[in-house]
Amino acid sequence: MGGNQLAELYRPQTWDQFVGNEELIKSLRKDIELNIGVSYFVEGSSGSGKTTLVNIWTKTLLCRNREPGTSEACGVCPVCTGEDTLNIHSATIEDATKAKDIINGFIDDSFTPPRPIESKSGVMRQVFILNELQNASNAAHSMLLKAIEEAPISTTWILVTMSPERFNITTLEALRARCKQVLLVRKNEGDVATRLKKCLPDLEEPTCMAVAFFSNGNIREAWSILGLLHPLHEIKDITSQHVYNLKAGGCTNEERKELWDSIAKGDTSRVSNLIDSWISNSTEEIIASLLMWDLRRSLKVNDYNSLLKLKHLQQWYRLSIKYPLSLCLMGMSCESFHTKLPITSLKEELPRLVNEEIKPVDETLDTKEEIPMSNTSQLIFEQLKQKVDPSLDMLKFKKQVNGLETKDVLKEANTFRQLRMYFDGN
């Protein structure tokens, strides 16, 4: 069964089945209970539940067996089952060329009385739903202003869009002013996981959470992920490992723990191998999102090291031409390596690691006062001169560090590591 089939099969049919946006749902239900005849402007990103919400609202309002003053549909009358749609007019605007004809037809119909039906609630109303309204032209949008303002009490307009930025701003604000605004936000991971578990009790909790993470709050995307796995496995046999293999190249929680351990140990080779193996079957953005998720959890306990790692990833995201993610993480590993490197080995290791980048001593200095300078001291001097004070005098610096131990040189220079961390973060 494909993802779209699963989405349709388990599409919410009642208020209780619709997850997220709780306060908004309360307001919409109250409108039905009080029989308030207003029009609505529904906004929300793809997969936020706009279509589902409109369907539930419309069927509940027009339900033949709904008791007066309530907002619960019976679920069995012709309106609830979709057999009676004579008072429900719905169209999707696919392109601007057809929008005016559709809207003109709806406007004409909106001034005719709704078809009378026997209803316990006594509501006599017809609903006009325009989906993907952003695809219409500004002229078509403007046609709706007067129609909504002068609509009979028996007519409710529901305008639905996922891209309000494509409207003319003046017309958009005019439409919003004439309607009750309904802004749907994407569901959080917990809401998506809860919905999956209710629909498919056989799914394990870790599997639901993994699907919820990769769906990014889009319940339709969550069903699509399961739809891709369902032909290969029975629903009860799908595990979180299958989800991570499909979406993240096998980058599971356990393997990410190994990655963070390798970064802490300075094992750049293992870091590179792990990232390359994941990206061969996924994308750098997906892997980076998982790592950001790990860091977010670490920051909850004030882990300062996680903050430094987060800065590295943020910098990687911001670059218009990204260097490989593996290189970014190898850099973290190198930083951890130098942070934990014993003082006694700094004198030997730092010059060896960066020897090719050390510049020759300025030959214009007064040779009479020339003082030998270690590679470590020279390295620190170059970093200070380049990033802190371009006018720094080498001779003065030499005198300050002459005869000092490596640990004292680092103290004098406020440590090379602290300088590097500062400039990486700025």
* Mean pLDDT of the region 362-385: 54
Instruction: Look at 393 and 40; give whichever has higher pLDDT.
Output: 40
The arrangement of secondary structure in 21-184, i.e. its CATH architecture, is 3-Layer(aba) Sandwich (3.40)
Average pLDDT over residues 324-337: 84
Beta carbons of 355 and 384 less than 8 angstroms apart: no
Cα dist from 81 to 84, 89, 124, 131, 384, whole Å: 8, 16, 19, 21, 75
- Can you tell me the mean pLDDT for 236-257? 92
Burial letters 213-224, b for 16+ CB under 10 A, else e: bbbebbbbbbbb
Bridge partners of 126?
Answer: 155
Per-domain residue ranges for the chain?
Answer: 21-184, 189-248, 253-340, 365-424
pLDDT at position 118 is: 86
Residue 415 has pLDDT above 90, yes or no: no
Residue 21 has pLDDT above 80, yes or no: yes
pLDDT of 346 reads: 38
Q: How are the residues of the chain apportioned to helix, strand and coil, as percentages rounded to the nearest 5?
A: 60, 5, 35
| Of the listed ranges 3-17, 25-39, 202-216, the one predicted with least confidence | 3-17
Residue 336 CB burial class (10 angstroms; 0-12, 13-18, ≥19): buried
Q: 47-56, 177-186, 208-217, 408-417: which range is least confident on average? A: 408-417
Q: Whole-angstrom Cα distance, residue 212 to residue 214?
A: 6
CA distances, 44 to each of 3, 21, 50, 61, 394 (Å): 21, 11, 7, 22, 61
- 41: exposed, middle or buried (C-beta count within 10 Å: 0-12, 13-18, 19+)? buried
Residue 404 has pLDDT above 80, yes or no: no
Q: Is the dihedral of CA 220, 221, 225, 227 positive or negative?
A: positive
The arithmetic mean of pLDDT across residues 285-290, rounded, is: 91
Note the pLDDT tens digit of each residue in 46-62. 888 999 999 999 999 99
Span 123-140, average pLDDT:
95
pLDDT computed for residue 365 by the predictor: 35
Query: Region 355-366: what's the mean pLDDT?
Result: 39
pLDDT given for residue 379 in this prediction: 67
